[in-house]
Amino acid sequence: MTEQKPINEKKAFNYPKESDLPFYMHCLNRVIYNHGPAPIYHYHDKIELIYCATGELEVHLFSEVVTLKPGDFIYIAPNIPHKIVAKSETNHHIVLQFLNQILHVPSSRNIPSVEYYLSLLGNFELFRCQKETDSQFSALFFDSLENYSHNDFAKRLALRANIMSIMSYIIKQRAVVPASISSTKDTDFFAKLEPYITEKCPTITLSEAAKYCTMNYSYFSRNFKSVFGVPFSSYVIKKRIEKSMDLLSSSSMTLDEIAIECGFSDLSYFIKCFKQERGITPKKFRTITKKDK
């Protein structure tokens, strides 16, 4: 098979500006062949759902390989490198990609944010075809294809409804909410904090974030975990790792330089955090996903 260059899918496959929209949704109808170009690892900041319609395919997630058969589907979290390999002569699958913003559900009740519930899911979640649910999910994925449009409001509404239905099932089945979870009246405000942390992640401290939210240190720390599902420090490390992935795949900076640029105290700590978060070392990640200059 012909080797292809790895990519970081920062832009949509159709319109260059589409992926910049806060309610980005994308749907792909793919037929791949086991004698075609070699598959490549890629990653992006979208949630991805893959539904196997016919044939068999493998989803490679670095340390794990998952086989999908007709009726199976998989949830892949944002920024998880993966590639798809056809195992049968031909494979037909449907891909849904979207930002987590479309899952936000305003409520008059004090409930945790979507970020919290997504934090309870793994890097991927596999769902095998079941007789009682197969027709339901087949209809949702194929209906998403029928309703994929950029300029038809009713179709975009239907596509979003399908995504919400699938994600509702995934969260109900796999996101185990601790009985001790506390609610907070600040979920909307914390949602606005996310881009600020992403921008400032190399240097931001808990005290600075609390000040940005005009909250005291203890209140901010306690309620941050209620909203995001992890302590502030763990969330910042996750954002630093995501920043480092871009630099590893697109720059010629050394690992030491990337570690410092992303806010890690030294290279060994960077490697330790990266491996815990992604399952491989930064060096191996760079080898697999390095862009061609």
2 found inside a domain: no
191 found inside a domain: yes
Same domain as 28, residue 62 = yes
Count the residues in the chain.
293
pLDDT of 185 reads 54
Domain boundary among 174, 196, 217: 174
H or E, element range at 173: helix 153-174
With 0-12 CB in 10 A as exposed, 13-18 as middle and 19+ as buried, what is 113? buried
Range of the domain at 122: 7-174
Q: Which residues of the chain have pLDDT under 70?
A: 1-23, 35-36, 107-111, 177-191, 290-293
Same domain as 52, residue 127 = yes
Residue pair 10/249 in contact by the 8 Å Cβ criterion: no
Domain boundary among 123, 147, 174: 174
Total domains in the chain come to 2
Q: Please choose, from the candidates 82, 90, 27, the residue with its C-alpha nearest in 3D space to the C-alpha of residue 57.
A: 90
H or E, element range at 76: strand 73-76
Same domain as 250, residue 119 = no
Same domain as 142, residue 191 = no
Could you give the count of Cα atoms lying within 13 Å of 135 in the half-sphere of its Cβ? Answer: 2
Q: What CATH number is attached to the domain comprising 284?
A: 1.10.10.60
